[in-house]
Amino acid sequence: MTLPVSKASASAETILLAENDIVGRQSEPRQDSYSLGRERASPSVFRRFLRGAVHFLAYNFILKRGGTRTMSAAGFHLALRPTVFHPKLFLTSEFFADFIAKLDLSGKRVADVGTGSGILALAAARAGARQVIALDINPAAAEATTGNARANGFGERVSAVCSNLMSALPAGPLFDVIVSNPPFFPGEPRDIADRAWCAGPGYRDIALLFEQARQRLTPTGRMYVLFSSDSDLYLLGRLIAKAGFRARRIADRSILIEALIIYELRPE
């Protein structure tokens, strides 16, 4: 498939993963049709402080660090340019890559929105995807993904595009599966590196993600998206419902300060 994208570059029925219960205390979830599940009303002061400290350390010592770094993550050799999200130090990337490895993507067309190093796009190609388009607003991420795809033997099937969400692609049923590990905290990003973490007040920078994905997914397609238990799951649930998706929680992993949750979205 040739896609009319601005810059050259990169389906699945779900497997049913057993849901792991989230470990840790949960306050009363909000009960309404937009709920994404057992979300907290809002994180405690302590958790917000911890979150701030992790963000400060991650931003200053990881996201902003200069120099290209190489690493192994999820079985791929990856080179990271400055400002590109580090898939080894943050646990979301390998958790999501492991999840994708269990999908049967044989012959499917896949998009990865917010690709960073390209780790999820490569995982989709390794799971059999016929073609993967990897998109990121950070040009350094798109360039890193192109290099990482070639270095791992997936250069023919993975193409990277610098794009704000999916806006570089026309609307239409282009993809069988769309995956995304977006920035899932609603703060103002300080710079392009910080856009990996902060999605703007009220999720401004990813607000159109679900609508754009819905317009580019086949009617039987699926979207998989990862959030944190500390994300504003109520607001995200509203955006998902407004785009015409039904969400279900399909995999969890608890880590020290939060739980990582993958949702499966299917068109209504």
Ligand X SMILES: C[S@@+](CC[C@H](N)C(=O)[O-])C[C@H]1O[C@@H](n2cnc3c(N)ncnc32)[C@H](O)[C@@H]1O
Note the residues at the interface with ligand X (CB under 6 A): 85, 87, 92-93, 96, 114-117, 119-120, 135-138, 141, 164-165, 181-183, 195-196, 205-206
CB closer to ligand X, 37 vs 182: 182
Closest distance of CB 32 from ligand X, Å: 27
- Return all residues near 238 (Cβ < 8 A) that are at least 6 apart: 34
For residues 118 and 134, what is the distance between their CA atoms, to the nearest angstrom? 7
Closest distance of CB 166 from ligand X, Å: 8
Closest distance of CB 208 from ligand X, Å: 8
CB closer to ligand X, 31 vs 131: 131
CB closer to ligand X, 25 vs 263: 263
Q: What backbone torsions phi and psi does residue 63 show, to the nearest 5 degrees?
A: -60, -40
Which of 131, 97, 121 lies closest to 251, judged by CA? Answer: 97
- CB-based contact 165:206 (threshold 8 Å): yes
CB closer to ligand X, 22 vs 169: 169
CB closer to ligand X, 114 vs 186: 114
For residues 30 and 38, what is the distance between their CA atoms, to the nearest angstrom? 8
Closest distance of CB 162 from ligand X, Å: 9
Q: What backbone torsions phi and psi does residue 120 show, to the nearest 5 degrees?
A: -75, -35
- CB-based contact 183:205 (threshold 8 Å): yes
For residues 212 and 177, what is the distance between their CA atoms, to the nearest angstrom? 13
Tally of CB atoms within 10 A around 66: 8
Closest distance of CB 140 from ligand X, Å: 9
Closest distance of CB 56 from ligand X, Å: 17
For residues 103 and 261, what is the distance between their CA atoms, to the nearest angstrom? 16
CB closer to ligand X, 92 vs 131: 92
